[in-house]
Structure 1
Amino acid sequence: MGLDRRGFLRGAAGLSAAGVLAGAGSGQFTAAAAPRKHSRRRTLSVQDWMSALGDATPVQRLTVPGTHDSGARHGGPWVACQNTTVDAQLASGIRFLDVRCRAVDDVFAIHHGAFYQELMFGDVLDSCRTFLTAHPSETVLMRVKQEYSEVSAEEFRRIFGIYLDAKGYRPLFRLEPGLPTLGQARGRVVLLADSDGLGGVRYADPQLFDIQDDYMTEPFGKWPKIEAQFRKAVARPGKLFVNYVSTAALLPPRSNADRLNPQVKTLLESAEGSSWRGLGIVPMDFPNEFGLADTLIRHNLAGRGITLVG
């Protein structure tokens, strides 16, 4: 994408003040039972969509709308992957965040390639903490990856530890290994660690994950891979499937999203696709432009007599 030719900004923004997460992560949330055949439909906000699901639900049986390169809103058309803030993404039903961290001294600046995104890791964590405190039925699955720095895994882990302890974010995270049930994850951020030694679930562990992330395939070639991954998740459940709709090939991310996102929506709302369950994590660019978060959320709610509202 020619990022190096366009220069970069070093992250100098201050960290948001850290606090202590109160009352989250208890895992004690009882979902309402599915209504009887003749009972009234009830409404459910997209902000609380996980409240309809039982505590025993494994996360790998969910269909989770997510954003690819969640903080990437600045740097021009070849860099921006989103046009809404992390706060707005969570409020719209997004429950997977792809967080790219540049190690700068003792902090993480959020980057997409060379471009600083006017956002710090503490800002992302504050957004998650505020949201989960207000909506304790929910969880956020967060991939944390090093971006545009090349410090050792040990140094990256040291800085991450500063956020956990010196900055007070440890209570926000679920750092246990293995994929949790929804009850074990409620009210917390489930760390999907894309760097050695951070704790949590090791992202892309082939024993746990099945990932489609062919980010350098143009839309005509990418679409069959997306569709095949959906079908595989339905036919061979067990692992946590991840199906990246995003691609950076040939055209800017927004242009590719304008081509791929409507195809995904059409497939998932078709007579065949609407019956699919347990599609896993679906990271997208610009999902708000096409209502894809709502479409994916509904794959968790079928047969429960629920009308989803914004």
Structure 2
Amino acid sequence: MDHTVAALLCVLVVGVFGEQTPAFDRTDVPAITLLDWMSYLPDNLPLSSLSIPGTHDTMALYGGTLAECQSWSLRNQFNAGVRLLDIRPRHYQDRLPIFHGVSYQRTTFNEVLKDTVTFLKDHPSETVLMRVKEEYEPFQNTRSYYKSIAEVVGEIGEQWFIRSSSLPTLGEARGKIIILQQFSSNGEGPDFGPPYPGRMSISDEYQVSDDAVKWAEVERHLNVAQNGDPEKTYITYCSGTHWLLYTPESLARKINPRVLDYLNTKTSAGRRRSMGVVVMDFPGAELIRQIVLDNWA
């Protein structure tokens, strides 16, 4: 790793209140900022080949212990280095408020996109992958979910999006949003981006009755990703819950430190590629940093 990259990945210590560890963070502000980490990677790399930190239910900051999955605002998630978002708009009276289950998250799809565009204007070397999935029950709509998504994308500006059936190179994606589409187009128009899950390899065992079993699956898929096809997208969810045994937070406290230990002890011997996208609840900033550093391993 050269001195420029090392400087990029330096630690910025900030004053915060709440619990903050290298792997788990329940505070408002991350302890490390990685604003432009993609700028140090070459343009010709396929996005699918990168190691990318992501957040599960990115906007789930409200609703109590069963609903809350993050404590950082979207801006602070970007600042920490997160580049994959998991966005869940509900279709409600032709609008798109963000929900987690029954819990309204005090924002809208329009606001999420505006904040993402603001970030990309300030950091044009970066790109943002955005899984978009319809959440909860539709209510009193006069048009399809696709049409409502299309209206918001049009309001934001098509120039901020790449509509492609697969992930492009990093150079092609800089300064853009790539929607991973988990809803039907119903023949009403072109897809917004690669279909989710489509041809991706995804591990998302979110119903968890034993954290040891969950970790075994996470570790298995991280190993699969590192030995897989560089042109295929691998996404590993470290998140999960159980109505009685685990909240998103309590499971993150158990799984996130294991992911960090895995990153700190893995070797590059025999690896064909990076570990792909790693999606987390309440990630610690050092955990995110180690995922980013995997691009130079």
TM-score, normalised relative to structure 1: 0.79
Aligned to 1:25: none
Aligned to 2:8: 44
Partner of 2:36: helix, strand, or coil? helix
Matched-pair contact (CA < 8 Å) for 1:68–1:97 = yes
Matched-pair contact (CA < 8 Å) for 2:131–2:180 = yes
Matched-pair contact (CA < 8 Å) for 1:275–1:299 = no
Aligned to 1:231: 223
Shift of 1:168: 3.1
**2:131 is the counterpart of 1:143:** yes
One-letter code of the match for 2:294?
A: H
Q: Deviations over 1:86-136 (max 9, x none)?
A: 111011100000000101122210000000001111111111101111111
Matched-pair contact (CA < 8 Å) for 2:5–2:40 = no
| Alignment counterpart, residue 260 of structure 1, candidates 237, 255, 261 | 255
Aligned to 1:57: 45
One-letter code of the match for 1:225?
A: E
Q: Deviations over 1:7-50 (max 9, x none)?
A: xxxxxxxxxxxxxxxxxxxxxxxxxxx75xxx787511511000
Matched-pair contact (CA < 8 Å) for 1:108–1:120 = yes
Aligned to 1:287: 283
**2:153 is the counterpart of 1:164:** yes
Q: Deviations over 1:190-220 (max 9, x none)?
A: 1100012242110100xx3000001002312
Matched-pair contact (CA < 8 Å) for 1:100–1:111 = yes
Partner of 2:57: helix, strand, or coil? coil
Matched-pair contact (CA < 8 Å) for 1:66–1:94 = yes
Aligned to 2:19: none
Partner of 1:107: helix, strand, or coil? coil
Aligned to 1:203: 196
Which segment drifts farther, 171-180 or 89-98?
171-180
**2:267 is the counterpart of 1:278:** no
Aligned to 2:208: 217
Shift of 1:157: 0.5
Partner of 1:43: helix, strand, or coil? helix
Distance in 2 between the 1:246 and 1:273 partners?
25
Distance in 2 between the 1:76 and 1:275 partners?
44
Aligned to 1:128: 116
Q: Deviations over 1:228-268 (max 9, x none)?
A: 00110112224100000001122111000000000000011
Partner of 2:168: helix, strand, or coil? coil
Distance in 2 between the 1:203 and 1:41 partners?
32
- Percent of residue pairs bearing the same amino acid type: 35
Aligned to 1:155: 144
Distance in 1 between the 2:78 and 2:133 partners?
20
Distance in 2 between the 1:257 and 1:284 partners?
8
TM-score, normalised relative to structure 2: 0.83
Matched-pair contact (CA < 8 Å) for 1:96–1:140 = yes
Aligned to 1:243: 236
Distance in 2 between the 1:50 and 1:105 partners?
38
CA shift in 2, pair 1:115/1:186, >3 Å:
same
Matched-pair contact (CA < 8 Å) for 2:208–2:246 = no
* 4+ aligned runs moved over 4 Å, structure 1: 39-42, 273-277
CA shift in 2, pair 1:259/1:160, >3 Å:
same
One-letter code of the match for 1:216?
A: Q
Partner of 1:88: helix, strand, or coil? helix
CA shift in 2, pair 1:246/1:275, >3 Å:
farther
CA shift in 2, pair 1:108/1:40, >3 Å:
closer
